[in-house]
Structure 1
Amino acid sequence: MSDIQVARRQRRWHIAVFLLPALIVYTAIMIVPLAQTLNLSLFHNDAQNAVHFVGIENFRTLFVEPRWAAQFWNALRNNFVFFLIHMVVQNPIGIALAALLSIPRLPGRAFYRTAFFVPTMLSFVIVGFAWKLILSPIWGVTPSILGAVHLKWLFAPWLGKESSALITVALISVWQFVGIPMMLIYAALLGIPDEVIEAAEMDGVVGPSQFWKIKLPLILPTIGIVSVLTFVGNFNAFDLIYSAQGALAGPNFSTDILGTFLYRTFFGFQLQLGDHYMGATIATVMFFIILAGVCAYLFLIQKRMRRYQF
């Protein structure tokens, strides 16, 4: 063994030293609570409050028994709709904004970049309460604004109608978080080497066609990451719906998602007592849904995605 290999092997302990603090913190606040939640989902208490191991019985109860199944499947369906609205509306808008901001001669580019990103730094409570006031049919400004342009007939109590409440809350979330995909994709566009752009211009590929034929294929890995982050964030969502619609996610649970369903189940609400075991079961299902989505992307999509190396 050469002296260089010996020296490299002797320096490897530095890796463990630097990783250890982060590993300890991550284990304490993520791994241990996750393991406890998974374990808690396998137990339940009886009428005498004695705890028993029940295996997957809690999951059968959640999926099948009418008392739980109706609320669970409703929340899961709403969660998928909430996610799809973000994928169809938020991410394409983020791509379009990033493409516009990457135009070198765009005036006020720094101002627009900041303005679009600022809502992501606002509190969920502020955003939910503010939009609830804006859209209120009693004291909101939306009816007045629409009336000023003779479009008041379009106004409806969108947050108060079962048919539109979930879409409205999802669009509010899109407004708040569109800056994140915008900035990620904008950074990816700026990372494209000038040589590639110059070569495209020499071949006559300019304007919108340059974005579709050259830039978009190069940023597909970033768009994939944005999609995964959107999936994880939406299936962990809770704060905005809680602040705008309350724990009951009204009207009539039309905006109820897995996060609000978990909150009511685990901690209880009003006259409903909390059930830690069923709450842990819902949290476990959420974990496996997110895990399945991320694994599907990593093993089915990312492997087949064409990679570009510069």
Structure 2
Amino acid sequence: MIRSARSSARSTRGRPPWWVLALFLAPALLLYSLFIVYPLVSALQYSLFTWQGTRPLGFAGLDNFTRLFSGVYGDRLWRAFGHNMVFFAGTMLVQTTFGLAFAVLLRRARWGRRFLQTAYVLPHLVSPIVVGYLWSLMLSPQFGAVNAALRAVGLDALAQPWTGDPALALPTLILVNAWQWIGFPMLLFSAALAGIPPEYEEAARVDGATAWRAFRHVTLPLLTPAIGIVTVLTFVGNMNILDLVYAMQGSQGAPAGATDVLGLLFYRTAFNNPDPGAIGQASALAVVMFLFIFGVSILATGYLRRKEAGLR
């Protein structure tokens, strides 16, 4: 008892006072409030007023939200929302599948591991704007390297207008997006695999399980926390995507709106809209996007935490 009291007193003496903690946290809290909290509160305020250019005219209540979901604007909103969901599902499928596969293969590699990890992560470090413009050049039907390579090996029938065909444009953007970000889940899965004791899989193999069954029933469930992090962050990033689509398809989501997403719709509403009340409508769209993304992220995080707790 005396020892516990002494250790408690020692830990209390080693802890800095509250004002020191507050002093170190103040800069981060100030920046967060300035660049995150203030814009969110401002968007909510702007969405409740009617505007004449940049001048508020009066309280509008929920009129901006009503206009957001009605008429032609509502049709564009739901179409862009559907594209975002397809974008998320496709990116999640490609980058998670290949990211996990690369992490498993690199874990078993005996040479070149660091080089390959660096090669896979490098696109993640490049700006999406730069990635978009580079892939636009490579996918050009006239002088692009992709079609030129296909024709060089005799696969002329596979040479397509990748970003000009409405049926191919969105899948092409999904593949480009997954290519850029595949290094992120690969690193997370590599770290998670390194934290799993090899004895678990060895015990399953001793019991007669094949390599696939051992991975499916032992290793994969233990990767649930990493899969949850990748899922939530991919959802947030793809629901807010703008730069890559803008660089490759322009502000209208060409061709014929086949790649229009919520980020582009917000951009056009705020900056390319002749309506004098554009600020109110754009702010209403920003509020709806935030509430949806935040709500789904909270629900998904809670569900994944319960799944993770069930593994203990």
TM above 0.5: yes
Measure, in 2, the Cα distance between the counterparts of 1:49 and 1:11. Answer: 49
Indicate which of 23, 45, 70 corresponds to 1:39.
45
- Partner Cα separation in structure 1 for residue 105 and residue 80 of structure 2: 37
Equivalent positions of 1:2-21 (< 5 A) are 4=8, 8=12, 11-13=16-18, 14-21=20-27
1:223-302 mapped onto 2 (5 Å cutoff): 223-268=227-272, 275-302=278-305
Q: Does 1:99 align with 2:91?
A: no
Call closer, same or farther: CA 1:44–1:5 in 2, change over 3 Å.
farther
Contact map agreement 1:268 1:274 (CA 8 A) in 2: no
Return the offset for 1:155.
Answer: 1.6
Distance (whole Å) between structure 2 residues aligned to residue 81 and residue 274 of structure 1: 31
* Percent identity of paired positions between Structure 1 and Structure 2: 38
Query: What SS does structure 1 have at the residue aligned with 2:87?
Result: helix
CA displacement at 1:100 relative to structure 2: 1.0
Match of 2:33 among 27, 31, 34: 27
Moved more, 232-241 or 163-172: 163-172
| In structure 2, distance between residues paired with 1:80 and 1:229 | 14
Q: Which runs of 5+ in 2 are unaligned?
A: none
**Which runs of structure 2 are paired with 1:143-182 in the superposition (5 Å)?**
143-182=147-186
Q: Is the 8 A contact 2:224 2:307 kept in 1?
A: no
| Correspondence for 2:192 | 188
CA distance in 2, matches of 1:259, 1:173: 15
For residues 69-91 of structure 1, the C-alpha deviation after alignment (integer angstroms, 9 at most, x for no partner) is 12211111111111111122221
How many residues are matched?
A: 305
Distance 1:265 1:28 in 2: 24
How far does residue 62 in structure 1 lie from its aligned partner after superposition? Answer: 0.5
Question: Among 39, 52, 63, which residue is 1:57 paired with?
Answer: 63
CA deviations on 1:39-80 (whole Å, 9 max, x unpaired) are 1111112699652111111111110132x1122111111111
Partners of 1:277 and 1:79 in 2: CA distance: 23
Q: Does 1:121 align with 2:125?
A: yes
Give the C-alpha shift of residue 158 in structure 1: 1.7
Match in the other structure for 2:74: 69
SS in 2 for 1:252: coil
Residues 265 and 274, structure 1, Cα contact 8 Å, conserved in 2: no
- Between the aligned partners of 1:261 and 1:273, the Cα distance in structure 2 is 17
Q: Against the structure 1 CA distance between its residues 56 and 5, is the aligned structure 2 distance closer, same or farther, given a 3 Å change threshold?
A: farther
Cα 1:154–1:46 shift into 2, 3 Å? same
When structure 1 is superposed on structure 2, of 228-237 and 8-17 the one drifting more is: 8-17
Alpha carbons 1:184, 1:222 under 8 Å: kept: yes
Unaligned runs of 5+ residues in structure 1 are none
How far, CA to CA, are the matches of 1:151 and 1:80 in structure 2? 32
Q: 2:207, 2:59 → 1: CA distance?
A: 69
Q: Residues 225, 6 of structure 1: CA spacing in aligned structure 2 closer, same or farther, 3 A cutoff?
A: same
Instruction: Give structure 1 regions of 4+ aligned residues with deviation exceeding 6 angstroms.
Output: 271-274
1:108 Cα deviation after fit: 1.5
2:166 match: secondary structure: coil
Letter in 1 for 2:211: G
- What's the secondary structure of 1:160's corresponding residue? coil
Q: CA deviation at 1:96?
A: 1.1
C-alpha separation in 1, matches of 2:304 and 2:112: 37
How much does 1:6 deviate?
A: 10
Tell me, yes or no, if the aligned pair for 2:48 and 2:59 is still in contact at 8 Å. yes
Aligned pair in 2 of structure 1 residues 273, 191: CA closer, same or farther (>3 Å)? farther
Task: Quote the Cα distance in structure 2 between the aligned partners of 1:47 and 1:132.
Answer: 35
Contact 1:134 1:141 in 2 (8 A): yes
Q: Which has the higher helix share?
A: 2
Amino acid at match of 1:135: L
Please report how far the alpha carbon of residue 145 of structure 1 lies from its aligned counterpart in structure 2 after TM superposition.
1.0
Normalising by structure 2, report the TM-score: 0.89
Cα distance between partner residues in 2 of 1:151 and 1:88: 27
